[in-house]
């Protein structure tokens, strides 16, 4: 399982956490929101991004967050993608 951070433009009510599969919803002072948490696989990540699209949110970035699990220590890399929707 991987941890992802999805950054969107605008603020979301923390109650959206359940709809986003339990991801933490963190609103920043700059008007952006971070959705952070474990994602089972690429299909689940695609499902989360589809929900971002369904809400017509502007997707700013998607980032794989490094973890300290022994199986991932050998390949600690971050991937960032940027999309402008909206």
Segment 34-80, tens digit of pLDDT: 999 999 999 999 999 999 999 999 999 999 998 765 554 444 444 44
pLDDT the model gives residue 68:
67
Q: Quote the pTM value.
A: 0.76
- What is the DSSP-derived secondary structure letter of residue 72? T
Q: Max CA-CA distance within the chain?
A: 39
The pLDDT of residue 79 is: 45
As its CATH architecture, domain 2-66 has 2-Layer Sandwich (3.30)
Q: For residue 78, what pLDDT is reported?
A: 45
Residue ranges per domain, the chain? 2-66
At residue 73, the pLDDT reads 40
Distances (CA, A) of 74 to 2, 42, 59, 68, 86: 14, 20, 30, 10, 38
């Amino acid at each position: 399982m991987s941890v992802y951070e999805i950054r969107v433009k605008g603020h979301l009510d923390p109650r959206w956490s359940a709809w986003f599969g339990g991801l933490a919803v963190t609103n920043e002072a700059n008007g952006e929101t971070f959705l952070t948490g474990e994602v089972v696989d690429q299909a689940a990540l695609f499902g989360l991004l589809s929900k971002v699209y369904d809400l017509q949110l502007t997707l700013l970035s998607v980032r794989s967050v490094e973890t300290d699990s022994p199986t991932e220590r050998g390949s600690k890399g971050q991937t960032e993608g940027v999309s402008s929707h909206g």
